[in-house]
């Protein structure tokens, strides 16, 4: 009797899997992602942004999932850029995975080491990162311009900074891919927005932000009178 109870308590729970990866749900208070293609996936949250949460796949620690709010397109832009340049190591290998039933989009990508640290990067990529930071620090923000116009000025500056071709190509592709979603996307080069992979490559992980979406969220928090 006791042995049967112990076996039942230690048995893995039985989950009802979704019909497709566009009907995924979270179980166990957010600790298990129920998928059609992978089955139940135990996950652990390792990061959080304004519009997304990042979860590590505990079955395969080399993979993470991003759960992204409706209307936030930064990860979709990264997926577009990766499809365009799949062999460029500086563009994160983001792929659309599916949708949660609450409307959040789910993206899969490799686990990258973030935030950026010099000791994790190749010497040439760290030198390139410093050149980019020095370059864009001289660009003044014109608040009458749309974010895309400032992004254009940043890319022009980087083009003249003498960084490796692959890094420049990645920056240019992210600019071009973001333009397909409007003129509200800017770029922010900071250690918290970039990462490194296992080979020490600089990865432009969270470079893009939607200024209009950020402003709308901040306004919503303040309330109708801005309080």
Give domain limits for the chain: 7-110, 118-222
Per-residue pLDDT band at 9 (split at 50, 70, 90): very low
Per-residue pLDDT band at 4 (split at 50, 70, 90): very low
Distances (CA, A) of 88 to 140, 154, 227: 30, 20, 45
Lowest mean pLDDT among 90-99, 167-176, 213-222: 213-222
3-state secondary structure of 155: helix
DSSP 8-state assignment for residue 134: H
Q: What mean pLDDT comes out for the span 83-92?
A: 98
Give residue 8's pLDDT: 47
User: Can the peptide bond before residue 208 be classed as cis, meaning omega within 30 degrees of 0?
Assistant: no
DSSP 8-state assignment for residue 19: S
Return d(Cα 156, Cα 83) in angstroms, integer. 24
Give residue-wise pLDDT tens across range 136-152.
999 887 778 899 999 99
Q: What mean pLDDT comes out for the span 199-219?
A: 95
**pTM of the model as a whole:** 0.90
Residue 28, sorted as left (phi over 0), alpha (psi -120 to 50) or beta, turns out to be: left
Return d(Cα 83, Cα 81) in angstroms, integer. 5
φ/ψ (deg, to 5) at 132: -65, -45
Give residue-wise pLDDT tens across range 214-227.
999 888 887 665 54
Do the Cβ atoms of 130 and 209 come closer than 8 Å?
no
Do the Cβ atoms of 137 and 129 come closer than 8 Å?
no
- As separate numbers, helices (DSSP H) first and strands (DSSP E) second, the chain gives 6, 11
Second-level CATH architecture of 7-110 = 2-Layer Sandwich (3.30)
φ/ψ (deg, to 5) at 47: -165, 160
Do the Cβ atoms of 25 and 101 come closer than 8 Å?
yes
For 24-39, give one letter per residue: b (16+ CB within 10 A) or e: bebeeeeebbbbeebe
The CB density around residue 50, as the number of other CB atoms within 10 Å, is 12
Residue bearing tokens 């770029």: 187
User: Can the peptide bond before residue 38 be classed as cis, meaning omega within 30 degrees of 0?
Assistant: no
Answer with the residue of higher pLDDT: 33 or 219.
33
């Amino acid at each position: 009797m006791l042995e049967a109870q112990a076996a039942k308590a230690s048995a893995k729970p039985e989950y009802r899997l979704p019909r497709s990866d566009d009907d995924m749900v979270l179980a166990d208070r957010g600790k298990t992602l129920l998928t059609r293609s992978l089955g139940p996936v135990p996950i652990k949250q390792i990061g959080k942004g304004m519009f997304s949460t990042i979860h590590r796949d505990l079955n395969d620690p080399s993979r993470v999932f991003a759960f992204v709010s409706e209307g936030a397109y930064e990860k979709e832009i990264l997926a577009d850029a990766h499809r365009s340049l799949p062999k460029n190591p500086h563009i994160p290998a983001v792929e659309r995975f599916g949708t949660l039933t609450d409307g959040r989009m789910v993206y899969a990508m490799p686990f990258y080491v973030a935030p950026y640290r010099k000791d994790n990067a190749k010497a040439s990529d760290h030198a390139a990162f410093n050149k980019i930071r020095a370059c864009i620090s001289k660009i003044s923000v014109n608040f009458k311009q749309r974010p895309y116009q400032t992004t254009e000025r940043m890319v022009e500056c980087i083009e003249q900074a003498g960084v490796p071709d692959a890094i420049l190509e990645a920056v240019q592709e992210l600019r071009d891919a973001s333009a397909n979603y409007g003129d509200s996307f800017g770029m922010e080069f900071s250690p918290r927005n970039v990462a490194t992979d296992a080979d020490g490559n600089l990865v432009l992980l969270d470079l893009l932000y939607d200024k209009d979406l950020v402003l709308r969220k901040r306004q919503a928090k303040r309330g109708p009178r801005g309080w």
